[in-house]
């Protein structure tokens, strides 16, 4: 039976809606305020939620925001009830992820029609997800035998060479052959490891309680993982000079092993599908607007079409018959799945526009004051200095038509030192300006600073 949660603070309205729904064979439950509704939704996972906007303690917008942040309730269809059809109010709800609105008073036909539309759409979304999952299974089933045979054949070939030439092979030849066997064995091990991990993730997605437990996992020093993995991969590919790193260190809500796997797969793809001599940039930052940790990994290899990007969930390696890199493409799917079960989002963008790099550096000094005990205006032995603090400046690269930080192409925001630095790709045809913002005063009301910038065309 379809479960519907009705969150409405007016008892008569709530009882009336519940009664109408029960008459249509729905299992309907009423909650007298937003807090009770959120708790019941998390514990019981209804099929649909109907919620009033204007309520004391926790209004409808706050309810929706909390539920959308929880992986257990993020996809539940949500219909707002409102006594006013204000455009700003409607837009705010839709931006938070509401599926529909009903304006009071509404008829039984309108209520049931809105519910039927949302439930039918949810069924269609679920079916589409199942179709993509089935396509993924089919692609893996088709490709797995070949993927297993490739490294196995290499192991057999090189081991046969050792057997046949053991008495005549030179030490360096034996070493080279052993290294090739080891490389193939590692490739086979990683392929099997990814296949098992993917199966475990798909089982995890179907277990809400296990997903909920992930919210207790943290990585305290993500930059340590980023530095170690990216430098190792750059060295393995003989591309140390192609790697550019920019990062901050902050605790993030994802387990260390999961975060390591995401970074590993994305960085591997960045090097695998780009040529030596082209840049691979890895940037980590915290977006102060939404308090989200964001990781950008950029390479300059072959372009992907929108259709190819959309088929990532289907685990298809793009244009494989033209390119010889091995792999199911499963690593990218695993990175996407891990990110999503932790409440994040992985997006892939591709552009064929010509690109340049812009580098900006902003520097300024702390305000240090001399304790001039003899008032002679200079430092003497025995005197000391007093730290008056460091003003906080932010650095933005914004479009020439905008002054708003929210529309910045690149930003550098830090509270810990007197330097901000930006290094990011921008289209050659773009027009930008540099903006320095005095965000927080700790000493004097004005702050002198030094600013340097330059641009470099991509190879």
pLDDT tens profile 110-144: 899 999 988 888 888 777 767 766 766 666 666 66
User: Parallel, antiparallel, or unpaired: how do β-strands 368-371 and 355-363 relate?
Assistant: unpaired
Helix axis angle for 171-205 and 108-165, nearest 10°, is: 160
Strands of the 243-246 sheet, one edge to the other: 243-246, 280-287, 292-298
**pLDDT for the residue numbered 278:** 83
Main-chain phi, psi angles of 373, to 5 degrees: -65, -30
| Model confidence pLDDT, tens digit, residues 72-96 | 788 889 998 887 655 555 555 566 5
pTM of the model: 0.52
Domains in the chain with CATH codes? 3-106 (3.40.50.2300), 355-457 (2.60.120.380)
CA distance 323 to 207: 38
CA distance 300 to 355: 10
DSSP 206: T
CA distance 87 to 428: 39
CA distance 198 to 191: 11
Quickly count helices (H) and strands (E) in the chain: 11, 16
Strand-pairing partners, residue 451, are 362
**pLDDT for the residue numbered 96:** 58
**pLDDT for the residue numbered 188:** 87
- The rounded percent of the chain whose pLDDT value lies above 90 is 22
CA nearest neighbour of 280 among 423, 149, 73: 423
Q: Cα-Cα-Cα-Cα dihedral of 357, 361, 362, 364, to 10°?
A: 180
CA distance 448 to 365: 8
Strands of the 392-399 sheet, one edge to the other: 408-412, 392-399, 432-440
Could you tell me the mean pLDDT of each successive run of 10 residues in the chain, 459 residues long?
Answer: 92 93 93 92 92 86 86 85 64 65 86 90 78 67 69 90 87 90 88 81 73 80 92 92 83 90 91 85 78 84 62 45 46 85 80 67 85 85 84 86 68 76 70 86 89 73
**pLDDT for the residue numbered 302:** 65
**pLDDT for the residue numbered 65:** 86
**pLDDT for the residue numbered 182:** 92
**pLDDT for the residue numbered 47:** 92
Counted residue by residue, the chain has a size of: 459
Do you find a cis peptide bond into 105, omega within 30 degrees of 0?
yes
């Amino acid at each position: 039976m379809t479960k519907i949660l009705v969150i409405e603070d007016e008892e008569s309205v709530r009882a009336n809606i519940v009664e109408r729904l029960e008459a249509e064979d729905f299992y309907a439950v009423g909650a007298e305020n937003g807090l009770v509704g959120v708790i019941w939704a998390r514990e019981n996972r209804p099929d649909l939620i109907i919620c009033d906007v204007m309520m004391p303690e926790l209004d409808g917008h706050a309810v929706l925001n909390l539920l959308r942040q929880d992986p257990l309730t993020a996809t539940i269809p949500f219909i707002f009830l409102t006594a006013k059809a204000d455009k700003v109010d409607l837009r705010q709800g839709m931006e938070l992820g509401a599926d529909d609105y009903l304006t009071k008073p509404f008829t039984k036909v309108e209520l049931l029609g809105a519910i039927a539309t949302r439930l039918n759409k949810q069924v269609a979304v679920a079916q589409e997800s199942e179709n993509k999952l089935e396509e993924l299974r089919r692609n893996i089933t088709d490709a797995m035998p070949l993927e297993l045979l490739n490294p196995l054949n290499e192991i057999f070939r090189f081991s046969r060479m050792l057997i046949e030439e053991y008495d005549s092979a030179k030490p360096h030849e034996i070493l080279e052959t052993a290294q090739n066997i080891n490389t193939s064995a590692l490739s086979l091990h990683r392929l099997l490891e990814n296949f098992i991990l993917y199966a475990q993730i798909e089982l995890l997605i179907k277990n809400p309680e296990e997903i909920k437990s992930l919210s207790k996992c943290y990585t305290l020093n993500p930059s340590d993982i980023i530095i170690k993995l990216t430098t190792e991969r750059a060295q393995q590919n003989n591309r140390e000079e192609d790697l550019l790193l920019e990062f901050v260190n902050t605790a993030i809500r994802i387990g260390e092993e999961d975060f390591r796997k995401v970074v590993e797969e994305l960085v591997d793809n960045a090097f695998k599908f780009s040529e030596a001599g082209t840049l691979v940039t890895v940037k980590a930052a915290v977006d102060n607007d939404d308090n989200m940790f964001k990781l950008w990994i950029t390479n300059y290899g072959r372009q992907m079409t929108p259709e190819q990007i959309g088929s990532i969930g289907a685990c298809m390696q793009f244009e494989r018959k033209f390119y010889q890199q091995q792999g199911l493409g499963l690593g990218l799917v695993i990175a996407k799945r891990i990110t999503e079960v932790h409440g994040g989002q992985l997006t892939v963008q591709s552009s064929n526009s010509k690109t340049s790099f812009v580098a900006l550096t902003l520097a300024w000094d702390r305000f240090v004051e001399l304790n001039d005990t003899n008032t002679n205006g200079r430092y003497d032995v025995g005197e000391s200095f007093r730290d008056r603090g460091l003003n906080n400046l932010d650095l933005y690269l914004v479009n020439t038509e905008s002054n708003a930080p929210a529309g910045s192409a690149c930003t550098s925001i830090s509270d810990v030192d007197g330097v901000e630095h930006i290094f990011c790709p921008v289209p050659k045809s773009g027009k930008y300006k540099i903006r320095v913002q005095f965000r927080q005063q700790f000493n004097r009301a004005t702050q002198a600073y030094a600013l340097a910038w330059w641009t470099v065309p991509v190879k």
